[in-house]
Amino acid sequence: MKIYDKILLGIYSHFPRLDDDITFETGELAWIVHYGLNGWQQDKERQKIEYTLEKEPNDKFSLYESLKDRSKVAKELSFLQANDYIEFQRPSGFGNHFRVKLLPKGIIRAEKLSSKLGEIELWYSENKDGIFGLVWTIIISIITAWITTKIATKSG
């Protein structure tokens, strides 16, 4: 699953309402970028990455990492906004909060992403014009023809 799909699914699983603003800290959405959705919500609280002002040898996330993560999250959210899945506002200045609003196309995509069958459907709809979609279509056609032949020969 792509990073922007993980973020969309995380937003949807946290607050599945249409056209309501949701506020996320950069560290909360960066958690999804670094670790995925596993363990992101625990006891109705979202996990987040804590950033420190000084970088110690064992400290992975400094203030510099915060700015990099904010840029990564903004890039992924920009992709979602360009496809009309969400609307969002970037943090300004030293701000650390993104405001996100789910749109109808985003809710539909997130609902499909929440099931395996929906993920397969999305994968096929995105790749049906490529070589993998063509191969998949041929395989399904062969299996369908084989099953039809077997049924027709048994009943005749």
Domain CATH code at residue 63: 1.10.10
Q: What is the pLDDT of residues 52-86, one digit of tens each?
A: 766 665 556 666 777 788 889 999 999 999 999 99
35 and 12 in one domain? Answer: yes
The reported pLDDT for the residue numbered 55 is: 60
Distance between CA atoms of residues 85 and 54, nearest Å: 37
102 and 130 in one domain? Answer: no
β partners of residue 41: 46
User: Stretch 16-29: mean pLDDT, rounded?
Assistant: 86
The reported pLDDT for the residue numbered 19 is: 78
Q: Is 39 helix (H, G, I), strand (E, B) or coil?
A: coil
Instruction: Determine phi and psi for 48, rounding to 5 degrees.
Output: -145, 160
Helix then strand then coil, in percent of the chain rounded to 5, is 55, 15, 30
71 and 14 in one domain? Answer: yes
126 and 63 in one domain? Answer: no
The reported pLDDT for the residue numbered 40 is: 82
102 and 123 in one domain? Answer: no
127 and 149 in one domain? Answer: yes
pTM of the prediction? 0.76
Distance between CA atoms of residues 88 and 108, nearest Å: 18
CB 64 within 8 A of CB 40: no
Q: Is pLDDT larger for residue 136 or for residue 60?
A: 136
Buried b (16+ CB within 10 A) or exposed e, 46-79: beebebeeeeeeeeebeeebbeebbebbbebbeb
Q: Is pLDDT larger for residue 36 or for residue 94?
A: 36
The reported pLDDT for the residue numbered 145 is: 95
Range of the domain at 122: 116-155
The answer for residues whose C-beta is within 8 angstroms of residue 51's C-beta and 6 or more apart is 27, 61, 62, 63, 65, 66
CB 111 within 8 A of CB 26: no
Q: What is the pLDDT of residues 100-124, one digit of tens each?
A: 999 999 999 999 999 999 998 888 8
Mean pLDDT of the chain: 85
120 and 85 in one domain? Answer: no
Q: What percent of the chain has pLDDT over 70?
A: 92
